[in-house]
């Protein structure tokens, strides 16, 4: 099926460090989105990407839509303790109305 492979599964970093995570697929996606989920809450939209090669920033977050349309990455610069949570990539398949999610990257930031 059209799975999204998200890596790494988990990361343990020191406050102030930069973070990078990515999503890959064997299928082509029209849209890539990145969400953050805190315990007991629903995912919160961070960044949406619509064009191959697009690079978009939201504060300390930067995400890119891969040129092949099959991958995306998310970078977080100068991490802070409130960055802790699970980050999900999600993609909208071409000619399909549903959204596919990766399994998530669990980020832990040590003060």
Partner 1 sequence: DAGVTQSPTHLIKTRGQHVTLRCSPISGHKSVSWYQQVLGQGPQFIFQYYEKEERGRGNFPDRFSARQFPNYSSELNVNALLLGDSALYLCASSLEPPPLTYEQYFGPGTRLTVT
Interacting residues toward partner 1 by CB under 8 A: 4, 6, 30-31, 33, 35, 40-45, 48, 88, 90, 92, 96-104
Measure the CA–CA gap between 52 and 24, rounded to whole angstroms. Answer: 14
Integer CA distances (angstroms), 45 to 33, 62, 79, 89, in order: 7, 13, 18, 10
Least separation in angstroms between CB 102 and partner 1: 5
Least separation in angstroms between CB 2 and partner 1: 11
Of 41 and 82, nearer to partner 1 (C-beta) is 41
Of 40 and 111, nearer to partner 1 (C-beta) is 40
Measure the CA–CA gap between 106 and 88, rounded to whole angstroms. Answer: 9
CA angle 2–73–51, rounded 5-degree value: 75
Of 79 and 105, nearer to partner 1 (C-beta) is 105
Cα torsion 9, 15, 20, 23 to 10°: value is 40
Of 2 and 75, nearer to partner 1 (C-beta) is 2
Least separation in angstroms between CB 87 and partner 1: 10
Least separation in angstroms between CB 40 and partner 1: 7
């Amino acid at each position: 099926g059209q799975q999204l492979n998200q890596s790494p599964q988990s990361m343990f970093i020191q406050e102030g460090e930069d973070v990078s995570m990515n999503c890959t697929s064997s299928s082509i996606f029209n849209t890539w989105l990145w969400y953050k989920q805190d315990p007991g809450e629903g995912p919160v939209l961070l960044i949406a990407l619509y064009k191959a090669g697009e690079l978009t920033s939201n504060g300390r977050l930067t995400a890119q839509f891969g040129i092949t349309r099959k991958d995306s990455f998310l970078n977080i610069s100068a991490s802070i303790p409130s960055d802790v949570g699970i980050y999900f990539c999600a993609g909208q398949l071409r000619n399909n109305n549903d959204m596919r999610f990766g399994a998530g990257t669990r980020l832990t930031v040590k003060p």
